[in-house]
A and B are shown apart, each in its own frame.
Chain A
Amino acid sequence: MRAFWVRAALAAAVVASACTGSALAQRDEERPGYVPTPDEEQLQPQFQRQMVFFRTNEPPGTIIVDTPSRYLYLVQGNNRAIRYGIGVGRDGFQWSGALNITRKQEWPDWTPPPEMIQRQPYLPRFMAGGPGNPMGARALYLGTTVYRLHGTNAPETIGTAVSSGCFRLVNPDIIDLYERVPVGTRVVVRQTPVL
């Protein structure tokens, strides 16, 4: 039990500094205020939301985040799942295991973390939720950690490893997911095997 809390605390510490801001590494900068067009939010076919074959022991309603393949699955039962394309944490986010959704938020606010401010000093210290917010249209909070599944105003980052911790979906997808899952939903995170 103690080991669990130590591990959970460590995990929280790792992402606390970065996750809320979803620092971009590939694309240099966040663009607060930028509102993507519906065309830009149209993903490549393999990352579009779709029903797929998916065999699992997890019960229907469970979310499974498979980071190596950049997919999030919402288990439907009968060997199928709704699959969403996601952007995932780049480095340092190696936590895997199970958490629960503890809070749901429409149009979450954004508070860039200090190191992001350092890199982009002109960023606002706080941005209220709404279109153009880098956190996107919805956020699903995971456990007591600062992990979350959220939207994005940078749809081109889906399918890549860019954010420093969280999992991002295009806004139409996070809205779809938000409508389908209640607080309490189990979220299983799977990582690339460590060599």
Chain B
Amino acid sequence: MGTLKKIVLLIGLTLVPVPFAAAAQAQTLQAVKDRGVLNCGVSQGLYGFSIADDKGNWSGLDVDFCRALAAAIFNDASKVKFVPVTTNERFQVLQSGAIDVLSRNSTWTLSRETDYKLNFGGVLYYDGQGFMLRKALNINSALDLDGKKVCVQSGTTTELNLKDFFNTNNMKLEEIALPTAAETEKAYDSGRCDVLTTDVSGLYAERVALSNPTDHVVLPDVISKEPLGPAVRQGDDQWFEIVKWTLFAMLNAEELGVSTETLDAARKSSKPDVMRLVGSDGNFGEQLGLTKDWVVRIVGQVGNYADVFTRNVGSDSKLGIPRAENNLWSRGGIQYAPPIR
């Protein structure tokens, strides 16, 4: 180390002791390893995202993300303790240290990061407010909803967004606002309104419960931003990087054609991108505090992004949500991961 660097470092040590204090607490990875299990905060039961069956087996997109982390850390995707947390307490639970990561269909916003001192690791699922209506109406665009009766849950941001969208686009809104989600859905199913609005993931979940699910379509339009993703506490950059790059690895794996099914071929690949991803070239995993084969572990035990999406919320699940925004940027969507290199 050069003298100049030493001086700079000394000044840094004297003047800015705070980051060092934070760094001292920044040992999440080590704590997880010592404990032998990842504590993952999930919902109390939301089909497709995180839900336990009657035997206590968890499944869902958020659940599989934690399994991917465990696979990367322990080479064992099962080393996760799922901790259900309520909507109200979820961020405090993360702050308290009772969980290592919050993977609970939570929307990434500025105030959540600043108020609770959190970092969101990226967007696991692009959600947003949409519209469902009867196919027979033959409407393909939210801009053609002029004068339609719309069912919405009262007192929610959904209701505000709805009014705003109709106003902005000079359409007449006939709003039927009801106090609970269940009543809203029932009103739509009984034909009291032409259209039902809530977040798109919710529309697909509610469609399954309708009397004739196939008679209804969800429009491709999304009128609000609800980017859902995993969150960690501020102050532990290494842990933040691991969470972030685990998500990016799953997306990059899909983009490069590396899935659970093709993993063996990928390990023999001589394509530079693929070699870096699977660790046959470089030591990217080690730089994160993991192992060279971290992505092999993730994809082998849990899957790439497409595997996980399709299984939990996509065409292999009863929700049948199309990839839409959650498709890769190169295939019609907006999912985009920085490269591993």
A residues with CB within 8 A of B: 44-46, 50-56, 64, 66, 68-69, 73, 78-81, 83, 190, 192-195
CB distance from A41 to the nearest CB of B (A): 15
Inter-subunit contact A51/B331 (CB<8 Å):
no
Minimal beta-carbon separation of A127 from chain B (angstroms): 34
Say whether A53 contacts B274, CB under 8 Å. Answer: no
Please tell me if the beta carbons of B331 and A53 are within 8 angstroms of each other in the complex: no
Separation of A50 and B333 alpha carbons in the complex (Å): 16
Which residues on the B side are within 8 Å of A66 (C-beta)? Answer: 331-332
Pick the contact of B217: A50, A54, A83, A193 (CB < 8 A).
A50
Question: With A51-B141, A53-B222, A193-B257 given, can you name 4 additional A-B contacts, CB distance below 8 Å?
Answer: A45-B315, A45-B320, A56-B332, A73-B332
Residue on A nearest B263 in the bound complex, by CB: A195
Interface size on B, as a range, is 20 to 34
Assuming the contacts A69-B331, A195-B274, asked whether A53 and B140 have C-beta atoms less than 8 A apart, the reply is no
- A80: chain B residues at CB < 8 Å are 140-141, 220
With a cutoff of 8 Å between Cβ atoms, the chain A residues found around residue B214 in the complex are 45
Contact B271 A52 (CB under 8 A): no
Given known contacts A45-B320, A46-B315, A46-B322, A53 and B333 CB-to-CB distance under 8 angstroms? yes
Instruction: Give per-residue flags for B207-242: 1 if the beta carbon is below 8 A from chain A beta carbons, else 0.
Output: 000000010010110100000000000000000000
Asked whether any CB of chain A lies closer than 8 Å to the CB of B160, the reply is: no
State how many angstroms separate the Cβ of B208 from the closest Cβ of chain A: 11
**Once bound together, how far apart are the Cα atoms of A41 and B250, in whole Å?**
35
Query: In the complex, which residues of chain B have a beta carbon less than 8 angstroms from the beta carbon of A69?
Result: 323, 331
- Chain A residue contacts of B314, Cβ below 8 A: 46
CB closest chain-B residue, reference A70 = B315
Contacts of B295-335 to chain A: CB distance below 8 A: 314-315, 320, 322-325, 329, 331-334
Residue in A46, A53, A73, A194 whose CB lies within 8 Å of B320: A46
Q: Is the CB of A53 within 8 A of B315?
A: no
A sample of 14 inter-chain contacts (CB < 8 A) reads A50-B322, A51-B140, A52-B332, A53-B332, A54-B220, A55-B334, A66-B332, A69-B323, A78-B141, A80-B140, A81-B332, A193-B256, A195-B257, A195-B266
B180 lies within 8 A of chain A by Cβ: no
Which residues on B sit within 8 Å (CB–CB) of A83? 322
Among B217, B271, B322, B329, the one with the most A-chain Cβ atoms within 10 Å of its Cβ is: B322
CB nearest neighbor in A for B135: A50
In the complex, chain A residues whose CB is within 8 Å of the CB of B140: 51, 80
In the complex, which of the residues A73, A79, A192 contacts B257, with contact meaning CB atoms closer than 8 Å?
A192
> What is the interface of chain A mostly: helix, strand, loop, or mixed?
mixed
CB distance B333 to A51 under 8 Å? Answer: no
- Report B137 CB to chain A, min CB distance, Å: 13
Separation in Å of the B269 CB from the closest CB of chain A?
5
Task: Give Cα distance in the complex from A66 to B323, angstroms.
Answer: 13
Closest A-B pairs by Cβ, 9 of them: A193-B257, A46-B315, A53-B324, A54-B332, A53-B220, A195-B269, A51-B140, A195-B265, A80-B220
Interface of B is mostly: loop
Min Cβ gap B310→A in Å is 9
B interface residues (Cβ-Cβ under 8 A, vs A) = 140-141, 214, 217, 219-220, 222, 255-258, 262, 265-266, 269, 271, 274, 314-315, 320, 322-325, 329, 331-334
B residues within 8 A CB of A194?
257, 271
Q: Output the least CB separation between B296 and chain A (Å).
A: 13
Closest to A47 in B: B315
Report the separation of the CA atoms of residues A195 and B265 in the bound assembly, to the nearest whole angstrom. Answer: 7
Alpha-carbon gap, A81 to B324, bound state (A): 10
Residues in A with CB closer than 8 Å to B320 are 45-46
User: In whole angstroms, what is the CA distance A73 to B324 when docked?
Assistant: 12
Give every chain A residue within 8 A of B255 (Cβ-Cβ): 193
Inter-chain contact B333/A55, CB cutoff 8 Å: yes
The answer to whether B265 and A52 touch across the interface, beta carbons within 8 angstroms, is no
Within the complex, what minimum Cβ distance (angstroms) separates A43 from chain B? 11
Residue with the highest number of chain A CB atoms closer than 10 Å, among B258, B262, B315, B334: B315
Q: Are A55's CB and B257's CB within 8 A?
A: no
Find out whether the CB atom of A195 lies under 8 angstroms from the CB atom of B258: yes
**CB proximity of B309 to chain A, nearest CB, Å:** 11
Residues on the B chain within 8 Å of A56, using CB: 332
User: In whole angstroms, what is the CA distance A51 to B137 when docked?
Assistant: 14
**Chain B residues within an 8 Å CB radius of A51:** 140-141, 217, 219-220
**How far, in angstroms, from A180 to B269 measured CA to CA in the complex?**
41
Shortest beta-carbon distance, A60 to chain B, in Å? 14
Kindly provide the distance from the CB of A102 to the nearest chain B CB, expressed in whole angstroms: 26
Give the docked Cα–Cα distance between A69 and B219 (Å). 21
A110 CA / B221 CA spacing, docked (Å): 41
Bound together, the chains give a CA A138 to CA B340 distance in angstroms of 45
* Chain A residue, CB-CB nearest to B322: A52
Q: How far is the CA of A46 from the CA of B217 in the complex (A)?
A: 12
B218 CB, min distance to chain A CBs, angstroms: 9
